[in-house]
Amino acid sequence: MIITSLLQVKHRDHTGLHMRELTMSVKSLDVIVEGRRSQPQQLIEVLQDVQDLCGYIPRESMITVSKELGVPLIEVYRVASFYKAFSLVPSGKHVITVCLGTACHVRGARRMVDQVAGQLGVSPGGTTSDGLFTVECVNCLGACALGPVVVLDGVYYDKMTPRKLSRLIDSVRAADSEGRANA
Amino acid sequence: MPRLAAIEDLEHLHASLAADRERAGTSIIVCGGPGCQAAGCGAVVEALQAELRGEGLAETVHVRVTGCHGFCEQGPIMLIEPGNIFYCHLKPADVPEIVSTTLCDGEVVDRLLYTDPVSGNKVRTESEIPFYRLQDRTLLALNRQVDSSSITDYIAIGGYSALAKVLREYGPEEVIREITRSGLRGRGGGGFPTGRKWAACRAAPGDEKYLICNADEGDPGAYMDRSILEGNPHLVIEGMLIGAWAIGAEQGYIYVRNEYPLAVERARAAVARAREFGLLGDGILGSSLRFDVEVARGGGAFVCGESTALMASLEGKVGEPRAKDVHTVVEGLWNKPTTLNNVETWANIPLILRRGAKWFAEKGTKGSKGTKIFYLTGQVKNTGLVEVAMGTPLRTIVFDIGGGPSDGAAIKAVQTGGPSGGCLPVDQFDLPVDFDALAEAGSMVGSGGMVVMDERTCMVDVAKYFLTFLQDESCGKCVPCRLGIDRMLEIITDITEGRGRHEQLDLLEELADTVRETSLCALGKTAPNPVLSTLRYFREEYEAHITERRCPAGVCRALIEYVIDPDRCVGCGSCLRACPQAAITGEKKLPHTIDPSACGRCGICLSECDYGAIVLK
Amino acid sequence: MQNYVTLTIDGAPVRASRADSVLDVAIEYGICIPHLCHVPTISDLGACRLCIVEHVQNGRSKVTTSCTLRVQEDMVIRTNTDKIRKLRRNIAELLVAEAPNSRAVQDIALRCGVKQVRYPFRNKTCTLCGRCVRLCAELWGARAIGFVGRGKDRRVDFPFGVRPDFCKECNSCIDLCPMTITPCDGPMKTGEERLCGKCEGQLLMNENFPDFCVWCALGEGFGCARHA
Ligand SMILES: Cc1cc2nc3c(=O)[nH]c(=O)nc-3n(C[C@H](O)[C@H](O)[C@H](O)COP(=O)(O)O)c2cc1C
Ligand code: SF4
Ligand code: SF4
Ligand code: FES
Ligand code: FES
């Protein structure tokens, strides 16, 4: 199968701390599977690439991957549903990730979840009804000295407070509606 | 760079690189670890390079961006050698002053120096900072000597010389004997003697064997392994090469946690460079050794740190543990003999072989040798990566290196070992960090997380936090872990929400015991530790929740209430604007009130009020 | 290599083929070790943990599941110690609190000595024993169903929750399911959550459970390995 639609792709640049958005039009799944056909052990790597490409694992891609790698479909579905790196539903335009690792937790990270939940009306794992924000929680990003850490679209925000977070969300919203007004 | 075809080539290269280093004048070392990066060290480096070019110093001053130095909270950090001058909390705007004052005039910039939070004094050099001074930085110290993306930096400081020594002087058995004699025990949590593991894997029947480096670093809130793998990946690769020689493996894997994309990238780049130099591949350094390494990215599952789950994951499957009645050193990856070690374990190997087992065994206690890296965090003044000799008392780490409580409140406990570990109260702080001593006290060294907690932490809530984590991360395969953790969490939730009953404490203990004894893998077997250790040392907190329906630390949301003191409230409205639940009402300039039924008890308003009008009841 | 080994189970020396699991051998010799996820002829998962035994090695005993433990020469196994009984009872209690409507699970709970369930009941429809999953994959090679999700979200499902064409609805999965084959009279009603005890008659209701097989009706429905 070929994904030909325009896809918003997130790529990490060399620092790993910022992602820039690339727009690609690709026969991407072919490219991803190329060289890994009939190699069941490549399943996770392939799904990682699909996730990076699409932001989630579309159902059709699982069917293709199952055929191409020679892994039973149930196993593909199982792997995709087991690991946190994979999402089975598309995420919102902006992804807010709140770290709830121990270091961030002891510095009050739970309040960030309260803030997001109150402000956007979604609990972790959810997407706002306008599709603008998806809220996720993660257990440690390895930047614990900066806790509480919140990541918005790949950019790390350190020593977060509910107030900073609320402003951040507002600014993203404002930028988005401006962008739409101009479009 | 040509391939290093023989040991002599490596030695020549080392000699010339080391001489270059000797000749170099000033070097500026900027930490490029995860903490400093997020704090903006990239911009500082750019500003520095531009400034040096502008001043015509680009040729004479050597700038090195390295892996984590450990004092992340102070980032971005800079170290100027010679002189050992230490600057912290840098901004790009500080750079011109550093160049003109320190580099040109040889003076220090006072305002950029570190202030000791205990004494309030400015500290000039890094070695005088208590946080660093009291550590025994063996592995971490190497981080700052190398630019992590540079194999030549690593060779310049003697890298791969342990491999050369082994290839020249030691047979596989001798390597294993040396490791056994050093007393090295696994740094991944279990503390299994590394020499014994290697010997068993070497002895296991079969020609095809595998090595794995466990960089899954599942402990939430710690990043020791990340700092080594990102900061000094060649050290890990050299360790694995020595392991390959000793065990007879031809293929190795580094399994890196999904959340560490930079570590994946660095490790992949290092592997590629090592291949270019002929340090991975066929006939390494002209010997018969043949070994290659692949870097795999995890899928984001804590349980994949467990050996059998990790191997299943490497095979492209779901990371579910299997029964280990046959050990993985006999039947591991692809059912072949496999040696799995933690990043820090592998990183210790080259040092042991370079300096000798005796050097390593001199540090530490009877049963635990060498140094161990911890991530100290929580309610202490200094947080960061701390490397100490095994056997160092907890008190030294928390009070001397950590500088004691962060703001006045008395320290109550330290949680070690991550989700599988336990909480130790202050009266146990004379315990040394030692695998056996901590295990006996109901906690463990674990991978090295160390969270300091003061009076404002509720121990029942801590147990609940870890149970929630483990419930989320259990693979769900076996009954005691899946249902047992779930039920323990149910009971603890009852307690924190004021529905607790006394007999539930006995049930909790009995259940914890069942989960520990009968779970399939070590995730389940250690899952009760946070519960058991808090029950053991802080039972009175559980009792207060049950009998008095009160949370002594004021944390458990169902048992607390935020109210506004009308006498103090000036009606400024900051709380009203901050409340995410819109639970606060009031006219401007008049006392506000909180609607307890709408209040989510997050406490955001309390931190927003400048007049101390919001009180916790 | 020798094909037979001698081991001791509950003090009795027994001979067994090297490929056997301790559970297989115990059942063969009439020693009853309760089990749920084990089904003869298909692979063992070690999920229910009911078949735990003490494996004594160098004077130390280790609790482990007998279905995944291969026999070894001179192995010493204890299947019925106080410790094992207590642990087994606690596991069975967890299971029955989860799926109180299943006759099979009720039987197991009673067999393991559960007299009282100290957790609130939840009416789950699956114990996640994985009998169906392994049967579908191993006996028929169909792989129409599998475990999906992780931890508390783990469940048995078709790919994307849709029955694939290649599932021929042979229903053998249902035949082996402890939840469906011997359902009790009716779903427990909220507020009446208790073990009805209709199955009690099948068991010796004293404190000392026999450590030999009594041909309890436990397995008739969903297939204790002894009945296979
Ligand atoms: C649930 C679980 C998670 C684990 N996570 C890690 C981990 O993140 N990193 C690690 O090195 N070891 C981890 N371990 C321990 C490994 O299974 C294994 O014992 C270790 O990597 C062996 O290496 P060592 O002997 O060098 O310590 C984990 C174990 C369990 C049971
Ligand atoms: S103990 Fe937990 S994580 Fe380990 S196999 Fe059992 S359910 Fe899975
Ligand atoms: S559906 Fe039945 S057989 Fe399948 S796992 Fe659930 S309880 Fe076991
Ligand atoms: S705990 Fe949040 S980054 Fe580590
Ligand atoms: S664990 Fe052995 S029968 Fe279920």
Least Cα distance to B349 among B134, B69, B138 occurs for B138
User: Is residue B416 over pLDDT 90?
Assistant: yes
- CA–CA distance, C47 with B64 (Å, rounded to integer): 52
Annotation: CATH topology of B371-457: Ubiquitin-like (UB roll) (3.10.20)
pLDDT digits (tens, 9 = 90+) for B440-487: 999 999 888 999 999 989 999 999 999 999 999 999 999 999 999 999
Statement: residue A89 has pLDDT above 80: yes
Same domain, A77 and A98: no
Q: Does pLDDT of B529 surpass 50?
A: yes
Q: Measure Cα distances from B607 to A131, B189, B551, B564, B597 in Å.
A: 31, 38, 20, 13, 20
> In what helix (H) or strand (E) does residue A138 lie, and over which residues does it extend?
strand A133-138
Where are the domains positioned within chain B? 21-128, 159-361, 371-457, 460-547, 561-616
Of C148, C73, C206, nearest in space to B477 by CA: C148
- Domain identity same for A68 and A99: no
Query: Which pLDDT value is given to residue B117?
Result: 84
**Do B297 and A123 form a contact (C-beta atoms < 8 A)?**
no
Whole-angstrom Cα distance, residue B213 to residue B251?
11
User: Which SS3 state, helix, strand or coil, does residue A180 take?
Assistant: helix
B244, B168, B242: which is closest to B202 by C-alpha? Answer: B244
Taking the C-alpha atoms of residue C112 and residue C215, their distance in angstroms, rounded to an integer, is 15
Residue from C181, B316, B371, B465 nearest A104 by CA:
B465
Taking 70 as the pLDDT cut, the residues of chain C under it are 1-2, 181-228
State CA A25 to chain mean position distance.
19
Question: H/E/C letters for each residue in chain C?
Answer: CCCEEEEEECCEEEEEECCCEHHHHHHHCCCCCCCCCCCCCCCCCCCCCCCEEEEEECCEEEEEECCCCECCCCCEEECCCHHHHHHHHHHHHHHHHHCCCEHHHHHHHHHCCCCCCCCCCCCCCCCCCCHHHHHHHHHCCCCCCEEECCHHHCEEECHHHCCCCCCCCCCHHHHCCCCCCCECCCCCCCCCCCCCCHHHHHCCCCCCCCCCCCCCCHHHHHCCHHHC
Check C154 against B477: CB less than 8 A apart: yes
Residues in chain C, total: 228
Is residue B534 pLDDT above 80, yes or no? Answer: yes
> Given this model, what pLDDT does residue B325 score?
81
Taking CA atoms only, the protein residue closest to ligand 3 atom 3 is C177
Please give the pLDDT value at position C192. 52
Give the number of other Cβ atoms within 10 Å of residue B259's Cβ. 25
Residue B303 Cα, ligand 1 centroid: separation in angstroms?
9
Q: Min CA distance, B21 vs chain C (Å)?
A: 52
Structural tokens at position B547: 């009998």
List of residues 6+ apart from C157 with CB closer than 8 A: C145, C146, C148
**How many Å lie between the alpha carbon of B563 and the closest alpha carbon of chain C?**
35
C159·A76 Cβ contact <8 A: yes
Per domain, the residue ranges of chain C are 1-122+181-228, 131-175
> A168 to each of A158, A161, B576, B600, how far by Cα in Å?
12, 11, 19, 22
Residue B307 scores a pLDDT above 60: yes
Residue B161, SS3 per DSSP: helix
Shortest Cα–Cα distance, C174 to chain A (Å): 19
Q: Which of C192, C193, C214 is nearest to C203 (CA)?
A: C214
How far is residue B282's CA from residue B288's CA, in Å, rounded to a whole number?
A: 8
Determine the distance separating the centroid of ligand 1 and the alpha carbon of B323, expressed in angstroms. 16
| Residue B598 at interface with chain A, using a CB cutoff of 8 Å | no
Tell me the C-alpha distance between A107 and A96, whole Å: 18
Q: What is the CATH number of domain B561-616?
A: 3.30.70.20
A chain contacts of residue B72, beta-carbon cutoff 8 Å: 143-146
Provide the pLDDT for residue B11: 95
Tally of domains in chain A = 2
pLDDT of residue A8: 33
Of A28, A60, A82, the domain-final residue = A82
Q: What is the pLDDT of residues B13-28, one digit of tens each?
A: 999 999 988 887 888 9
The answer to whether B259 and A142 are in contact (CB under 8 A) is yes
| In a shared domain, residues A171 and A105 | yes
d(CA B583, CA B569): 16
pLDDT at A10: 37
What is the spatial order of strands in the sheet that B422-425 belongs to?
Answer: B384-389, B371-378, B449-454, B411-416, B422-425
pLDDT at site C121: 84
Q: State which ligand 1 atom lies nearest to the alpha carbon of B473.
A: 1
Domain that holds residue A67: 7-82
CATH architecture of the domain with residue range B460-547: Up-down Bundle (1.20)
Chain A nearest-CA distance from C162, in A, is 11
Relative to the alpha carbon of C27, which ligand is closest?
5
Q: Does A56 touch chain C (CB under 8 A)?
A: no
Q: Contacts of residue C118 in chain B, CB cutoff 8 Å?
A: 507
CATH number of the domain within which A127 lies: 3.40.30.10
> Which phi and psi angles does C141 have, rounded to 5°?
65, 20
- Residue A85 is nearest to which of B300, B378, B607, comparing CB atoms? B300
- The reply to whether domains B159-361 and B561-616 share a CATH topology is no
Summarize the confidence of residues B504-519 as an average pLDDT: 96
The residue length of chain B stands at 617
Residue from B71, B259, B264, B379 to probe the interface with A (highest A Cβ count within 10 Å): B259
Amino acid in position C186:
G
CB burial of residue C138 (10 Å; 0-12, 13-18, 19+)? middle
The answer to whether B417 touches B189, Cβ cutoff 8 Å, is: yes
Distance between CA B371 and CA B361 in Å, rounded? 10
Domain C131-175 -> CATH class:
alpha beta
Burial of B440 (0-12, 13-18, 19+ CB in 10 A): exposed
What is the mean pLDDT of the segment spanning B499-503?
93
pLDDT at position A46 is 93
Write out the two tokens for B421: 């570990």
Which pLDDT score, from 0 to 100, does residue A24 have? 35
Which residues in A lie closer than 8 A to residue C148 (C-beta atoms)?
Answer: 74, 77-78, 81-82
User: Class for domain B21-128, per CATH?
Assistant: alpha beta
Q: How many CB atoms lie within 10 A of CB A131?
A: 12
| Backbone angles phi and psi of C3, in degrees to 5 | -95, -10
Task: Express each pLDDT in A39-49 by its tens digit.
Answer: 889 999 999 99
pLDDT more than 90, % of chain B: 80
Compute the distance from residue B484 Cα to the ligand 1 centre, in Å.
22
Q: If you measure from the C-alpha of residue C179 to the centroid of ligand 1, how many angstroms do you get, rounded to a whole number?
A: 36
Tell me the C-alpha distance between B103 and B135, whole Å: 29
Helix, strand, coil % over all residues of chain B, rounded to 5 = 45, 15, 40
pLDDT band of residue B407 (cuts 50, 70, 90) is confident
What CATH number is given for B159-361 in this structure? 3.40.50.11540
Average pLDDT over all residues of chain B: 93
Residues B216, B218, B220: CA angle, nearest 5 degrees? 145
Cβ-in-10-Å burial (0-12, 13-18, 19+) of B291 comes to buried
Q: Give CA–CA dist B346/B246, Å, rounded.
A: 13
Distance between CA atoms of residues C74 and C57, nearest Å: 10
Rounded distance, CA A169 to CA A150, Å? 11
Closest ligand to A106 CA? 4
Start-to-end C-alpha separation, chain C: 30
Angle value at C-alpha A30, between A24 and A36, nearest 5 degrees: 125
Give all chains having 3 or more CB-to-CB distances under 8 Å with chain B. Answer: A, C
Give the per-residue pLDDT at A12.
Answer: 32
Q: Residue C1 in contact with residue C48, Cβ under 8 Å?
A: no
| Most confidently modeled range among A151-160, B15-24, B268-277 | B268-277
Q: Which of A31, A51, A82 is at the close of a domain?
A: A82
CB–CB of C148 and A78 under 8 A? yes
Strand pairing class (B422-425; B411-416): antiparallel
Pick the range with the lowest mean pLDDT from A2-6, B273-277, B429-433, B500-504.
A2-6
Mean pLDDT on B408-428: 92
Considering the domain boundaries, does residue A88 fall inside one?
A: no
**Which are the contacts of C161, defined by CB distance < 8 A and separation ≥ 6?**
none
Q: How does DSSP classify residue B125? A: B
- pLDDT at A25 (0 to 100): 32
For C1-122+181-228, the fitting CATH number among 3.90.25.10, 2.60.120.920, 1.20.1050.10, 3.10.20.740 is 3.10.20.740
Report the DSSP pairing between strands C76-78 and C52-57. antiparallel
Residue B486: its chain C contacts at CB < 8 A? 152
Structure tokens of A47? Answer: 């799904």
Residue environment code for A54-82, b if the CB has 16+ CB neighbours within 10 A, otherwise e:
bbbbbeebbbbbbebbebbbbbbbbbbbb
pLDDT above 70 coverage of chain B, percent: 100
Pocket test for ligand 2, best of B307, B320, B525 (most atoms within 8 A of CB): B320
Does residue B579 register a pLDDT over 70? yes
Helix (H) or strand (E) holding A61: helix A59-69
Answer yes or no: do A46 and A105 share one domain: no
Contact between B204 and B338 (Cβ < 8 Å): no
What order of strands is seen across the sheet that includes strand C76-78?
A: C12-17, C4-9, C76-78, C52-57, C60-65
DSSP conformation class of B116: P
Q: Which residues contact B71 (CB under 8 A, 6 or more apart)?
A: B77, B88, B129, B131, B132, B382, B384, B385
Q: How far apart are CA C12 and CA C78, in angstroms?
A: 10
Q: How far apart are alpha carbons B497 and B433 in whole angstroms?
A: 35
Distance C112 CA to ligand 5 centre (A): 14
What's the predicted TM-score (pTM) here? 0.90
What span, in angstroms and rounded, lies between the C-alpha atoms of B168 and B25? 35
Whether residues A99 and A178 share a domain: the answer is yes
pLDDT per residue over B336-395, tens digit each? Answer: 999 999 999 999 999 999 999 999 999 999 999 999 999 999 889 888 999 999 999 999
Residues A73 and A100 in one domain: no
Q: Does B319 touch chain A (CB under 8 A)?
A: yes
> Which amino acid would we find at residue C51?
C
Q: Which of A48, A82, A116 is the last residue of a domain?
A: A82
